Amino acid sequence: MVRLLLWYCLWVWLIVGERLVMGASESSGERKLDQTPTWAVAGVCAVIIIISILLEKVLHKLGTWFTARHKRALYEALDKVKAELMVLGFISLLLTFGQSFIARICIPENVANTMLPCKAKSEQDSEEHRRRLLWFEHRILASAATAPKCKEGHEPLISTGGLHELHILIFFLAVFHVLYSFVTMMLGRLKIRGWKVWEQETLSHDYEFSNDPSRFRLTHETSFVKAHTSFWTRIPFFFYIGCFFRQFFRSVGKVDYMTLRNGFITVHLAPGSKFNFQKYIKRSLEDDFKIVVGVSPVLWASFVVFLLLNVRGWQALFWASIIPVIIILAVGTKLQAILTKMALEITERHAVVQGIPLVQGSDKYFWFGRPQLVLHLIHFALFQNAFQITYFLWIWYSFGLRSCFHSNFKLVIIKVSLGVGVLCLCSYITLPLYALVTQVPYLFP
């Protein structure tokens, strides 16, 4: 782990100093390592080593804290993050040691000009860009003296400058994967923390009086049924329209929490037990987070596919940015529909209920009868959304905000706005709702 962090700190050092190196390389000759003062070499190495050790200690302390607080799911999630950083570290090593071989692979010029993300530049148009990339040749990945040459009519598969830019993309993926995961978890915990007030209310005498288990009530007069049923729930079109908008304005209400809590305690514990359901839901969210924080081979494959389809004029990344939006909205609508269907089933089973109505879930409520499919869809949407945001920031850093990658700047603004919206909606609403709904009794076989 320390070696991995050494690589990332080396990236940070090189990226921060790139602007200074660029200016210096244009004004004076570059010194190689044998002409560099030993104090400069030792100082740079010392800074990198110190930062790496500090980061490693922070991660170790965080894991120890998770273990001491019995947060097994978060500890496993931290291990997954470390594993993903390790994968990215291996990718970095392969790029570093394989760049000379990759740059020697030559392809015909007409093939090199196919499926470009930007318009092909003439010699005159590309002069400014070559000056911008001049300092790449003085870096670890390449040098002007050792840059491979192709015969006439052929070009390198990927230039040394392109490999360096790809290296920066890997660095961005590593950093923002960690940050994105952290924000996702924090927003979810913030939402569930708001339910703590409702949990404390269950300890009061007013709650016991208002929810007397011996009191009989008409089913359609209970708060849960009234909140989820009306004339529109009997019409399929309006049923899903209502569920769609409910996720924005009333995703989880107090009556929903109390009803699902009562159902869980009635089935799994003795009725009237003093059980902190809010803490249990928080642990359930941590278990879900352990799954969505990982990056499976399928997700890596989707990353490669979207890089392949990022061709000028196709607007593939813009259309790809809509996929997480559709998935999260569909999942949120489905979860709201499950709550409404449970309320409708209560009215169909009983005309009169005693105390709080007992909700009963079923796998049939979910697509293909698989509740875990919903979590996998959330996982896919979060990864794609994180990739979209990371890719935008990488383009901004490497090529500028108004580069050819952002030829249609309005679409870029829409894409980034959708990305931020999906992050907030999924983390603050969809994931907590999923953690709550999946605790309904009899939901899993």
Which residues, at least 6 apart from 384, have a Cβ–Cβ distance to it below 8 Å?
302, 306, 320, 321, 323, 324
Distance separating alpha carbons of residues 80 and 70, to the nearest angstrom? 17
pLDDT tens by residue, 40-84: 878 888 888 888 788 888 888 888 888 888 777 777 878 877 777
The answer, yes or no, to whether residue 349 has pLDDT greater than 90, is: no
What is the β-pairing status of strands 216-218 and 154-156?
A: unpaired
The answer to whether 233 touches 239, Cβ cutoff 8 Å, is yes
pLDDT of residue 1: 47
Q: Would you call 113 exposed, middle or buried from its count of C-beta atoms within 10 A (0-12, 13-18, 19+)? A: exposed
* pLDDT tens-digit map of 233-251: 777 888 888 888 888 887 7
For 272-327, the pLDDT digits (tens) are 677 888 888 888 888 888 888 878 888 888 888 888 888 887 888 888 889 999 99
When pLDDT is cut at 50, 70 and 90, the band that residue 2 belongs to is: very low
Sign of the torsion formed by the C-alpha atoms of 44, 50, 55 and 56: positive
Work out the average pLDDT over 341-357. 73
Does residue 204 or residue 220 have the better pLDDT? 204
Residue 178: pLDDT band by 50, 70, 90 thresholds? Answer: confident
N- to C-terminal Cα distance for the chain? Answer: 40
Spatial separation of the C-alpha atoms in residues 349 and 263, rounded to whole Å? 15
Q: By percentage, how much of the chain surpasses pLDDT 70?
A: 80
Q: What is the pLDDT of residues 136-158, one digit of tens each?
A: 444 444 444 455 677 888 888 88
pLDDT at residue 15 in the model: 46
CB 140 within 8 A of CB 30: no
Confidence class of residue 331 from pLDDT cuts 50, 70 and 90? Answer: very high
Query: Which has more confidence, 268 or 126?
Result: 268
257-282 pLDDT, tens per residue?
Answer: 888 888 888 777 766 677 888 888 88
Region 113-130: mean pLDDT is 64
Q: What is the 3-state secondary structure (H, E, C) of the chain?
A: CHHHHHHHHHHHHHHHCHHHHHHHHHHCCCCCHHHCCHHHHHHHHHHHHHHHHHHHHHHHHHHHHHHHCCCHHHHHHHHHHHHHHHHHHHHHHHHHHHHHHHHHCEEEHHHHCCCCCCCCCCCCCCHHHHHHCHHHHHCCCCCCCCCCCCCCCEEECCCHHHHHHHHHHHHHHHHHHHHHHHHHHHHHHHHHHCCHHHHHHCCCHHHHHHCCCCCEEEHHHCHHHHHHCCHHHHCHHHHHHHHHHHHHHCCCCHHHHHHHHHHHHHHHCCCCCCCCHHHHHHHHHHHHHHHHCCCCHHHHHHHHHHHHCCCCCCCHHHHHHHHHHHHHHHHHHHHHHHHHHHHHHHHHHCCEEECCCCCCCCHHHCHHHCHHHHHHHHHHHHHHHHHHHHHHHHHHHHHCCCCHHHCCHHHHHHHHHHHHHHHHHHHHHHHHHHHHHCCCCCCCC
Instruction: Round the average pLDDT of the chain to a whole number and report it.
Output: 77
Task: Estimate the crossing angle of helix 72-104 against helix 38-68, to 10 degrees.
Answer: 150
Task: Identify the sign of the CA torsion 87, 89, 90, 91.
Answer: positive
Q: What is the mean pLDDT of residues 415-435?
A: 90
Instruction: Indicate the pLDDT class of residue 18, thresholds 50, 70 and 90.
Output: very low
**Mean pLDDT within 371-375:** 86
The total number of residues written for the chain in this structure: 445
Quote the pLDDT of residue 326.
Answer: 92
pLDDT at 311: 84
Residue 179 in tokens: 């940050």
